[in-house]
Structure 1
């Protein structure tokens, strides 16, 4: 086995055109002022594991408090990240080693959050609903059924009572 075979085994490039997460991180307290606007220094990136990415980021970057503000699950991480970088390119911070940092004023920050929501794949599960909502919804449906039944002439009385009531009239 030669050195090229070992390098091939050790290094396997990742395919970012697969499902994963897009995250929005913020460097807290790292801001500037534009007349009347407070800027938020944010990073739009991709990761299969955003929490591990944040830990790695803390270990390898200059000390500043960075937190994840939002993550979304998408089908193609590279495409969605590229679209977001392109859409917000005018707010890009000119850094030597990274093209993923942006300065957003409050309106731009709302726009970024809106774009994240639009692109998010919402996978619905019953566990997302609060138990009280489920219970009250079931009670509401049963109540509507009971009201509709009485209005349409359906009765909850046994057949023997219904026959006696009909015979008396």
Structure 2
């Protein structure tokens, strides 16, 4: 590689105010004899690729089983992540390297899941519909169209002449 090749590499800073994913990870078996019974240690973060983030996390963090519980697609990752961090700031765990870990009790855990649900952008795909529903809907539309066509193609009724007395 020569200097010309190196000079063409342009550094582009990450912009977290773009569309991407907000994830909720859990460190399993972190609290107590019955993990998750009272507290759940969770991480709220952002990533363009949550699965790659989880793999990177496993390679660079202490050995504990961490899994992704939820991901949502949002238009502005930094904004939504900041809102969630602020909303659950009372649950924040004081760590030196990270401000994204939270200890949730059962009620708080339900609340964070509800917040994820409210903020998720659902992208509808036809592949999610069962084929029978699609076929039934098409037949129903043809039936309604046929009835509407028959009603509009009939000649208007002639008014009856009143009989003279």
TM tier, smaller: 0.7 to 0.9
**Residue 89 of structure 1 corresponds to which residue in structure 2?**
89
Partners of 1:137 and 1:112 in 2: CA distance: 37
Equivalent residues in 2 for 1:24-103 (5 A)? 24-32=24-32, 38-103=38-103
Tell me the CA shift for residue 32 of structure 1.
Answer: 4.4
Unaligned runs of 5+ in 1: 1-5, 156-169
Query: Structure 1 pair 139/107, CA: closer, same or farther in 2 (3 Å)?
Result: farther
Unaligned runs of 5+ in 2: 1-5, 152-165
Query: Structure 1 pair 141/110, CA: closer, same or farther in 2 (3 Å)?
Result: farther
Deviations 1:46-102 (A, max 9, x none): 001101000000000000000011111111111110000000111111111111011
Tell me the CA shift for residue 128 of structure 1.
Answer: 2.2
TM-score (structure 2 length as normaliser): 0.74
Partners of 1:29 and 1:105 in 2: CA distance: 14
Equivalent residues in 2 for 1:1-169 (5 A)? 12-32=12-32, 38-141=38-141, 145=144, 149=147
Which segment is superposed worse, 108-117 or 49-58?
108-117
Query: Structure 1 pair 142/64, CA: closer, same or farther in 2 (3 Å)?
Result: same
RMSD of aligned residue pairs (Cα, Å)? 2.7
Tell me the CA shift for residue 132 of structure 1.
Answer: 2.9
Give the number of the structure whose residues are more often helix, by fraction: 1
Tell me the CA shift for residue 141 of structure 1.
Answer: 5.0
Secondary structure class of the residue paired with 2:55: helix
